[in-house]
Structure 1
Amino acid sequence: MALRRGRGPREAAELLTDEPAPRWPGARRPFALFGEVLLVGILVTVLALPLVTLPVALAAGIRHLARFIAGDASPMAAFWADVRSGIVGSLGVGIGFWLLVGMLAVDGVLAQSGLLPGGSVVGVIVIVLLVVLPVILTRAAAEWEPGSGWALALRAGLRAATDDLRGTLYLVAAVGLLVVLTWQLIPLVIPGFGCLVFAATAVRLRRLAQLEA
């Protein structure tokens, strides 16, 4: 009965066998993991439709997938609890993110038109920043926890982005994949978001493992 009252599959496996359970048992179920990535892609896409809710959508999706990979209980109730906990504080982050993206887009258009001096250099800087911004936002979303606040998450995300350059490059590739998939066919934004959340989850778990080693 104790197992039914709150122990996840990982804890149950440790009690029923003499061997320790694998660290990330959810990753050993590829088809289930694939389905969970697609589910998270749908949830994040729907939740991010108002645009300013993108930060909390990513954070809740990453936490949900991390629970699944760890072999812990990952009900939808926990996902929505994360959304309710983080949505108010994330609105300012979402507004700021999209304002910066809009400003960079305007600068890019002006650089292309030749109205700005050094337009080619400005264009390169704009492209770099348009990649860096979503990567930092994703890393911050991965660091967010209920009750910790988004200011702390942003600082932790910036620190993680600079300390773990390999993980940051992985997220650059994931953001690029999301952009390419969406550009090819808009409905592909769903698996694109799923892949981005999966990459962010894997990068964070990898970093935590390195810090614990």
Structure 2
Amino acid sequence: MSGTPAREAGEVFGPRMTLFADVLSVGLATAVACLPLVTVPAALSTACAVLRGAGQDRPVTAGRYFALLRRRSRAGDLVAGCLALTGVLLFAADLALAGAGLPGAPLFAVAAAVIGVCAVVVGLRACGRPEALTDWRAAVRGAGRDAVTDLGGSGLVLLAVATAALCAWMLVPLAFLAPGPLALALTAVDVRRSAAVLLQ
């Protein structure tokens, strides 16, 4: 294939395989950073920022990931993490109540599921935006707008989440690598949207 970059001297794999390995290392670093749970939004948005740098010839390494994450000790990151964790707990409690056989439970479960899916799409798209590094409000506003105007991208986000969940369910150790490909998918969806806006 003409256009495919040649291997460097001493390079065992081609550049695409190197990016794949980098995505897995960033995914493992993200999984470790997500362990306190309230750090999930900051950890995932940092992974997206590091992977976005691959298109600008910046190194995609776990070391760069942790260096960027250390610089992000903002109160807004903890607030975003607490809100995300509270939302997940409320969603689980709502589904448990719906499963308890309350009147109107099936309709309530469907409504809760729709709201939960919309919240997941907006939250993940916010993590994929560059603004998430400095301003969560702007990132969430932009993600909400994109979720409505770019339905194809929202579908891709849901497909990426379903794939990551399926991989983790099939083989539990893959759960520690899943954040890398998920962050790559979120970044690709945002880059795709940005490119479409520029072409208009």
Match among 101, 113, 118 for residue 127 of structure 1: 113
Amino acid at match of 1:33: L
Q: 1:67 offset after TM fit, Å?
A: 0.7
Match among 79, 87, 90 for residue 77 of structure 2: 90
CA deviations on 1:61-88 (whole Å, 9 max, x unpaired) are 0011111133234455543343234342
Structure of greater relative contact order (alpha carbons < 8 Å, 6+ residues apart)? 2
Q: 1:181 offset after TM fit, Å?
A: 2.4
| Distance (Å, rounded) in 1 between the aligned partners of 2:99 and 2:61 | 48
Amino acid at match of 1:97: A
Any conservation in 2 of the 1:136–1:157 contact (CA below 8 Å)? yes
Q: What does residue 7 of structure 1 align with?
A: none
Between 1:141-150 and 1:84-93, the stretch displaced more is 141-150
Q: What does residue 204 of structure 1 align with?
A: 190
Aligned CA distance change for structure 1 residues 67 and 85 (closer, same or farther; 3 Å)? same
**C-alpha RMSD of the superposition:** 2.2
Q: What does residue 109 of structure 1 align with?
A: 96
| Distance (Å, rounded) in 1 between the aligned partners of 2:170 and 2:116 | 19
Between 1:153-162 and 1:194-203, the stretch displaced more is 153-162
Any conservation in 2 of the 1:135–1:175 contact (CA below 8 Å)? no
1:141 is aligned to 2:127: yes
Instruction: Show the 5 A alignment for 1:1-213.
Output: 29-74=15-60, 76=62, 78-88=64-74, 89-115=76-102, 117-145=103-131, 148-213=134-199
Q: 1:131 offset after TM fit, Å?
A: 2.8
Q: Which runs of 5+ in 1 are unaligned?
A: 1-21, 23-27
CA deviations on 1:54-112 (whole Å, 9 max, x unpaired) are 11111110011111133234455543343234342211011111111111111101111
Give the TM-score, by structure 2 length.
0.83
| Distance (Å, rounded) in 1 between the aligned partners of 2:138 and 2:108 | 31
Q: 1:205 offset after TM fit, Å?
A: 1.1
